């Protein structure tokens, strides 16, 4: 059976184009030029006139095209068409892999090429799954099971308010953290990765501008409470070295790692997909979007078009893999002055449109001196928005939400005694109740 002609004929005789489109079939799936052209005509006709063309109209346009009568169901034909496309794609990819295997340079990354090939087949057609509202009783049972097991609804950021407002990053979500150059996007990604690891989950960190040695050094400083500047300058005191060695054993015993993938040459969403398949993480972090390349690599494409293709494919990766992706993005100059907002994220509006969650960063000169950062939740498809202050101490690798009554200038700095947050809260309450009331007949401050 000529499955492509059979499918086009079935559409022409039944008019059920919407059933075919809903299965993800596009003109690019057809290998036969004539069948592809007729299918494209049917789609364009339907868009213009609101319904597929009749067989008479189709024969008028393509008088030599043979429309056959076929008794098999449309679902059967769609299944056979899907199998045929995957088989053809698989054969083409096998030929390509054989050529890469014979290439001395490319053969070094043959495993990566194979995973990229598998992604192309997996994503050739979107999932045809359908979830029904009528199955409410099943959702209630699943809710009770998840609650009983204490199952988290999403991968946590590790910042209390962000996790309260978002419920964590859901398995299908693509999230973005945005900020001006040098403000703290990479630091935020590292803080989230470390927080995720502390929950015994695996974060995959893909860096396109920083060496893995520097990243792992920062994770060491976070976990072992090392003075980062002294660590970098090979000047750690003996007590910190001993604590570092102790923590190294704890990390080995923990058995959960933070894989860091550096210098992915011309990194594309396909490569991100492949690395996620390789490492099976709970979260993928990418530093950062503008340094990536599009899968399609359209020659002469503008930057905004390339970024649009990248964000669309990253979002699709998250949905297919059921692994959330958190990527960094750059703001334009106004972001340096006013902080990251939805209207000043650079390169392409698609970063905002395709992201389920958008987090912005802001710190003026005074805040930097006081080791503070404002974290802004500016887009949240499934919850509220807001902002809060965070401790942002690079020397001590300390990045966390700031308590409501907490002042912070770094542990041990002159003029600031570090008081536990709960004590600060008690003191604040005492001060509220110890305020002197003005005497009768006198105005406050008189």
Calculate ∠ Cα 338-341-342, nearest 5°: 155
Whether residue 127 has pLDDT greater than 90: no
Whether residue 432 has pLDDT greater than 70: no
Q: pLDDT category, 341, cuts 50, 70, 90?
A: very high
- Does residue 215 sit in helix, strand or coil? helix
Residue 260: count other Cβ atoms within 10 Å of its Cβ.
20
189-198 pLDDT, tens digit each:
999 999 999 9
65/404: higher pLDDT: 65
Write down the pLDDT at residue 416.
Answer: 42
Calculate ∠ Cα 92-93-96, nearest 5°: 90
Distance (Å, whole) CA 372 – CA 184: 11
The answer for residues whose C-beta is within 8 angstroms of residue 153's C-beta and 6 or more apart is: 146, 167, 168, 170
Hunting for tokens 């001993």 — which residue is that? 242
Is 65 in contact with 38 (CB distance < 8 Å)? yes
Determine which of 41-55, 386-400, 417-431 has the lowest per-residue pLDDT on average. Answer: 417-431
Provide, rounded to the nearest whole percent, the portion of the chain with pLDDT above 90.
68
DSSP class of residue 26?
-
Distance (Å, whole) CA 83 – CA 4: 12
Write down the pLDDT at residue 427.
Answer: 47
Distance of CA 240 to the CA centre of its chain: 35
Query: How large is the average pLDDT for residues 275-302?
Result: 87
The answer for residues whose C-beta is within 8 angstroms of residue 103's C-beta and 6 or more apart is: none
Hunting for tokens 């649009």 — which residue is that? 308
Whether residue 62 has pLDDT greater than 80: yes
Distance (Å, whole) CA 278 – CA 257: 14
209-259 pLDDT, tens digit each:
899 999 999 999 999 999 999 999 999 999 999 999 999 999 999 999 999
List the beta strands (DSSP E) in 209-368: 260-262, 283-287, 325-330, 357-362
Distance (Å, whole) CA 162 – CA 325: 16
Q: pLDDT category, 298, cuts 50, 70, 90?
A: low
430/266: higher pLDDT: 266
The domain over range 3-122 is classified in CATH as 1.10.860? yes
The DSSP element (H or E) to which 203 belongs, if any, is strand 203-207
423/179: higher pLDDT: 179
Phi, psi (deg, nearest 5) at residue 354: -85, -20
Please name which of 59, 79, 55, 71 lies closest in space to residue 3, comparing C-alpha atoms: 79
The answer for residues whose C-beta is within 8 angstroms of residue 61's C-beta and 6 or more apart is: 41, 53
Please name which of 359, 401, 351 lies closest in space to residue 377, comparing C-alpha atoms: 359
304/9: higher pLDDT: 9
Determine which of 46-60, 379-393, 396-410 has the lowest per-residue pLDDT on average. Answer: 396-410
Q: pLDDT category, 444, cuts 50, 70, 90?
A: very low
Domain ranges within the chain, ordered by starting residue: 3-122, 154-402
Q: What is the pTM of this model?
A: 0.75
CATH class of 154-402: alpha beta
């Amino acid at each position: 059976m000529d499955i492509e002609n059979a499918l086009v004929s079935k559409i022409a005789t039944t008019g059920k184009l919407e059933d075919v489109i809903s299965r993800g079939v596009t003109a690019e799936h057809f290998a036969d030029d004539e069948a592809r052209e007729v299918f494209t005509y049917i789609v364009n006709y339907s868009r213009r006139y609101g319904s597929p063309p009749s067989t008479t109209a189709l024969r008028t346009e393509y008088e030599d095209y043979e429309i056959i009568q076929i008794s098999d169901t449309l679902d059967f034909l769609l299944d056979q068409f899907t199998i045929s496309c995957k088989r053809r794609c698989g054969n083409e990819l096998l030929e390509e892999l054989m050529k890469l295997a014979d290439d001395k340079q490319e053969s070094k990354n043959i495993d990566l090429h194979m995973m990229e090939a598998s992604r192309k087949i997996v994503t050739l057609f979107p999932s045809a799954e359908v979830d029904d509202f009528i199955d409410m009783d099943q959702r209630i049972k699943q809710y009770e099971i998840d609650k009983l097991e204490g199952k988290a609804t999403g991968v946590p950021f590790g910042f209390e308010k962000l996790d309260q407002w978002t419920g964590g990053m859901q398995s299908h979500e693509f999230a973005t953290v945005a900020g001006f150059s040098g403000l703290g996007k990479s630091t935020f990604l590292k803080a989230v990765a470390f927080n995720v690891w502390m929950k015994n989950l695996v974060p995959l960190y893909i860096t396109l501008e920083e060496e893995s040695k520097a990243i792992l050094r920062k994770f060491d400083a976070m976990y072992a409470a090392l003075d980062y500047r002294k660590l970098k300058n090979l000047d750690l005191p003996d007590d910190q070295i001993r604590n570092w060695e102790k923590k190294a054993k704890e990390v080995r015993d923990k058995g959960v790692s933070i894989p860091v993938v550096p210098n992915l040459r011309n990194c594309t969403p396909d490569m991100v997909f492949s690395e996620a398949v390789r490492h099976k993480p709970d979260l993928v972090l990418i530093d950062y979007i503008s340094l990536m390349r599009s899968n399609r690599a359209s020659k002469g494409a503008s930057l905004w078009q390339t970024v649009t293709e990248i964000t669309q494919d990253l979002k699709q990766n998250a949905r297919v893999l059921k692994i959330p992706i958190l990527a960094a993005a750059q703001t334009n100059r106004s972001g340096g002055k006013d902080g990251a907002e939805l209207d000043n994220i650079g390169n392409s509006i698609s970063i905002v449109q395709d992201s389920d969650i958008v987090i912005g960063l802001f710190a003026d000169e005074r805040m930097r001196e006081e080791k503070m950062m404002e974290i802004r939740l500016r887009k949240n498809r499934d919850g509220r928005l807001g902002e809060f202050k965070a401790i942002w101490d690079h020397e001590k690798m300390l990045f966390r939400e700031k308590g409501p009554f907490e002042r912070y200038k770094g542990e041990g700095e002159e003029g600031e005694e570090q008081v536990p947050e709960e004590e600060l809260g008690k003191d604040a309450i005492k001060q509220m109740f110890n305020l002197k009331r003005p005497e009768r007949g006198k105005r406050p401050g008189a």
